[in-house]
Amino acid sequence: MPTLMTEATTLPTPLGGTLVNLIRRPGHDFDPAELRGLPRLELSDRSAADLELIATGAYSPLTGFLGEADYLSVIERMRLSGGTPWSVPITLPVSREDAGRLSGTVVLTHGGQEVGTIEVQERYDARKGFEAREVYRTEDPAHPGVAALYAQGEVNLAGPVTLFAVPRGAFPVHHRTPAEVREVIQARGWRSTVAFQTRNPIHRAHEYLQKVALELVDGLLLHPLVGTTKGDDVPAATRVEAYEVLLEKYYPQARTLLSVYPAAMRYAGPREAIIHALSRRNYGATHFIVGRDHAGVGSYYGTYDAQEIFHAFTAEELGIRILRFEHTFYCRSCGQLVSPRTCPHDSGHHLILSGTKVREKLRAGEDLPAEFTRPEVAEVLRRAYTAQDA
């Protein structure tokens, strides 16, 4: 069973013991002529993100999209068929028509460009209702993750994959593979690293959690998710810019690393919290912050369900320490950021703004309170919303 540390390094052992690397460069690792005449499959944005995360080792120990045995085991037990913790099925859904024409080595494309291959070893029917009930805890099509699941193809293809190149995309400076993040951590001499996941713009409560955690460890990996999110979420470019301006003035540069996480959001709440933690272990983090309603949406999950679910695994299995934080907010009477554990005042004293309220204020041209977010971040958001509405 893998342990948190190894004798040779303070970095955590990747899940499964080895960091997967399936990058195969055309013209370097193989002759591009080998791809001629092979069937092709265009990937969705989510599947393209999953391909990258598998091939670069973020989803170690996966070496391909899940076969049926692993698929059912993950849904039923939150484990791969061999027993390794894994909470969300990583599948390649296609139409029944495409499933019938695809066999052997298939060239994967995204945006019309060749990005990798899959060696098709299995085709099996997706159990969409079962997956929705167990993974998302609802079959409600209003849930964005369930809606995406229902819209997918009826058949899952499975088999090992390759990736031709890391798609650095819109954030080439911050887009690092797990191996590259690990290199930075080692070069900086961090013996412990806490990772923070968010799909939302950073605000003072996030900053508070990050800096409390940074009191406990050597380094902070700010790891915002930049893959596909639901339509009303703040765009990734705006969120990353907000991090950049904040880090420049308010964080210790030598103890902080901003690096983007290319996954798509599934909004699977507790189940997704597990995959977020396990993948950050593969990136080299020893600790992972889980706060209020991690990866949740609407009222589908309890406030702290994403913290409780980790009790289904032993510390040795997880290989990453979970830092659980309660809801944090500014209290006008305390005059500082607090949580229910430290504040004696009722909600009438608290400054809490929902994402909807923040968007309403920005669209109305109103200022965000300095107690809620730094002025520099508020300006980034204001400019983004002004341009969006122009």
| Cα angle 259, 260, 261; round to 5 | 125
Whole-angstrom distance, CA of residue 49 vs CA of residue 270: 21
Question: Which residues lie closer than 8 Å to 288 by C-beta, 6 or more apart?
Answer: 194, 195, 197, 276, 277, 280, 281, 320, 321, 322, 323
Whole-angstrom distance, CA of residue 149 vs CA of residue 126: 10
Whole-angstrom distance, CA of residue 54 vs CA of residue 89: 12
Helix and strand numbers, DSSP H then E, in the chain: 13, 15
Are the beta carbons of 38 and 107 closer than 8 angstroms?
yes
Whole-angstrom distance, CA of residue 112 vs CA of residue 155: 22
Whole-angstrom distance, CA of residue 389 vs CA of residue 142: 26
Structure tokens at 368: 């965000």
CA 174 to chain centre: 15
Catalytic one among 77, 200, 255, 324? 200
Are the beta carbons of 363 and 329 closer than 8 angstroms?
no
Q: Is 200 a catalytic residue?
A: yes
Catalytic one among 46, 199, 292, 382? 199
Whole-angstrom distance, CA of residue 257 vs CA of residue 189: 13
The residues annotated with a catalytic role in the active site are 199-200
